Amino acid sequence: MSRRSNALDLHIPAPRARPGDAPDFSGWSFPEPGETPRPEIDAPAVELREFAYGLIRVLDMDGAAIGPWAPRLAPEALRRGLKYMLLLRAFDERMHRAQRQGKTSFYMQSHGEEAISIAQTMALDPSDMCFPSYRQQGILIARDYPLVDMMNQIYSNKHDPMKGRQLPVMYSSKKDGFFSISGNLATQVPQAVGWAMASAYAGDVRIASTWLGEGSTAEGDFHAAMTFASVYRAPVIVNVVNNQWAISSFQGIAGGENTTFAARGVGYGVPPLRVDGNDFLAVYAVTQWAAERARANLGPTLIEHFTYRAGPHSTSDDPARYRPTDEARAWPLGDPIERLKQHLMVLGEWREDQHRAAQEEALETVRATGREAEKVGVLGVEGAHEATSMFDDVYKDVPWHLRRQREDLGA
């Protein structure tokens, strides 16, 4: 085929670095910490457009908190946040290993993204409703959900609150304001908007918050959600966790080559905040801003958390096959735990030995809880669940055909 001089050409995005290449973040520039102004919560969305293209930062790389977004949290709260993040990381490491040891079928870590789920949960009210994706287990941890029940779920054992029905990490806890996780991407986002609409309808005071990955923003559900959130001014926070990679596809495949994910909010007239997702304080501050705005009946906020998925997508994934292995280490915005630790040390509120002790405590908690859960059982132990229990909860009442099938199975 000879090409015409005016021939069209199909563009296929490609990341800068693949396995064998050096990580390449050159040419990236971020506003300095403290540089971005903090608008009033009632600023009209049209005046907030520029926030979509910047990056709200509080912590500098030496651990100082700077500027109008600094949330002025008490050292005690900062230490709590740090300990939650340490617990989350220790938990993730152990459960990832448990899958490798054949104790369960699947696991997903939130390595590198811990600040998002932990800081946001701390900034929200405990009664606010969360519609997470599969990578915000930190919400349960920061709401002090029993760690052992998370493990029981992962092991599908006798005490699994999901009765062995769900893939590991697909938790649910109504009393903790944590919606049942779906494996179908982005479905939770319009549901969060609907929950928020109901809360507004009922004259409630609780708001909703929802999370999805940047890859999932391509799904229609996200756009449906944004439309409804905007139209009905729903009291909801929509969080896009931009960790650069979906599975093997980089954020350019979701549209990140041409704009930011926060900028999706511009088209819908929803305030778009873009934040350093590895900066605990900045994440806390933007969440607080969005929550206040929602509580004041001023409607939704879209937050893009700019971060990096430091671990594999899941236990089924080997990232060395599609990205440089040292990309996480080269991430220009560091590690969320290290950065908050540094900040506390700069404040004189934390020491290296305290940090080591806190790390050890997190590991020990996870170890002890692991033993407890494994004593109950791991995946595949016969008799953990009555086979006929699979027919429960399909409907409120069991219809005749399911009763018949249950009898057939039991026979």
Partner 1 sequence: MASMTMIQALNSALDVMMERDPNVLTFGEDVGYFGGVFKVTEHLQKKYGAKRCFDAPINECGIAGAAIGMAVYGLRPVIEIQFADYMYPAYDQLVSEAARIRYRSANDYTVPLTVRMPYGGGIYGGQTHSQSPEALFTHVAGLKTVIPATPYDAKGLLISAIEDDDPVVFLEPKRVYNGPFDGRRDRPVIPWSKHPASDVPEGYYKVPLGKANIVREGADLTILAYGTMVHVAVAAVEDSGIDAEVLDLRTLLPVDIDAIVASVCKTGRCVIVHEATRTSGYGAELSALVQEHCFYKLEAPIERVTGFDTPYPHALEWDYFPTPPRIIKAMRRAMEA
Binding site for ligand TPP (CB under 6 A): 135, 183-185, 212-216, 241, 243, 245-247, 309, 313
Q: How far is the CB of 125 from ligand TPP (least distance, A)?
A: 25
- Phi/psi of residue 24, nearest 5 degrees: -135, 100
Comparing CB distances to partner 1, the nearer of 186 and 237 is: 186
Looking at the DSSP bridge assignments, the partners of residue 124 are: none
**What's the rounded Cα separation, in Å, for the pair 127 and 199?**
12
162-166 LR contacts (CB < 8 Å, sep 24+): 163/385, 163/389, 163/392, 163/393, 164/384, 164/385, 164/389, 165/390
Residue choice 148, 198, 247, 346 for contact with partner 1 (CB under 8 A): 247
Contacted entry of ligand TPP, partner 1, none for residue 405, CB cut-off 5 to 8 Å set by kind = partner 1
Is 236 in contact with 207 (CB distance < 8 Å)?
A: yes
Query: How buried is residue 357: exposed, middle or buried, by Cβ count under 10 Å (0-12/13-18/19+)?
Result: exposed
Q: How far apart are the first and last CA of the chain?
A: 66
The site partner of 316 among partner 1, ligand TPP, none (C-beta below 5 to 8 Å per kind) is: partner 1
Are 126 and 120 in contact by the 8 Å Cβ rule? The answer is no
45 or 119, CB closer to ligand TPP? 119
Among 25, 53, 232, 322, binds partner 1 (CB under 8 A): 322
Residues near 114 by Cβ (< 8 Å), separated by ≥ 6? 85, 88, 89, 138, 336, 337
Residue 202: which of partner 1, ligand TPP, none does it interact with, CB under 5 to 8 A by kind? none
Binding partner 1 (rule: CB under 8 A), the pick from 167, 345, 363, 376 is 167
Rounded distance, CA 286 to CA 303, Å?
8
The 3-state DSSP composition of the chain as helix, strand, coil percent (nearest 5) reads: 45, 10, 50
Judge residue 202's burial from the number of C-beta atoms within 10 Å of its C-beta, 0-12 exposed, 13-18 middle, 19 or more buried: exposed
Q: Which is nearer to partner 1, 259 or 389 (CB)?
A: 389
Give the count of residues interacting with partner 1 (CB under 8 A).
48
- Dist CA 404 CA 205 (whole Å): 46
CB of 242 to ligand TPP, least distance (A): 8
C-beta of 245: minimal distance to ligand TPP in Å?
6
Q: Binding partner 1 by CB under 8 A: which of 39, 43, 105, 148?
A: 105
Which of 35-43, 176-184, 267-275, 361-369 is the region at the interface with partner 1 (rule: CB under 8 A)? 176-184
Q: Is 389 in the site for partner 1 (CB under 8 A)?
A: yes
Q: Of ligand TPP, partner 1, none, which one does residue 220 interact with (CB within 5 to 8 Å by kind)?
A: partner 1
Q: How is residue 154 annotated by DSSP? A: H
Is residue 145 within 8 A of residue 176, CB to CB? The reply is yes
**48 or 95: CB nearest ligand TPP:** 95
CB of 113 vs partner 1, minimal distance in Å: 18
Total number of residues shown for the chain:
411
Interface with partner 1 (CB under 8 A), residue from 47, 316, 325, 368: 316
**Contact residue for partner 1 among 34, 112, 194, 215 (CB under 8 A):** 215
Q: Taking CB within 5 to 8 Å according to partner kind, which of ligand TPP, partner 1, none is near residue 321?
A: partner 1
Which residues here bind partner 1, judged by CB under 8 A? 1, 10, 12, 14, 18, 105-106, 156, 160, 164-167, 170, 182-186, 215-216, 218-221, 246-249, 253-255, 316, 321-322, 379-380, 384-385, 387, 389-391, 394, 401-402, 405, 409
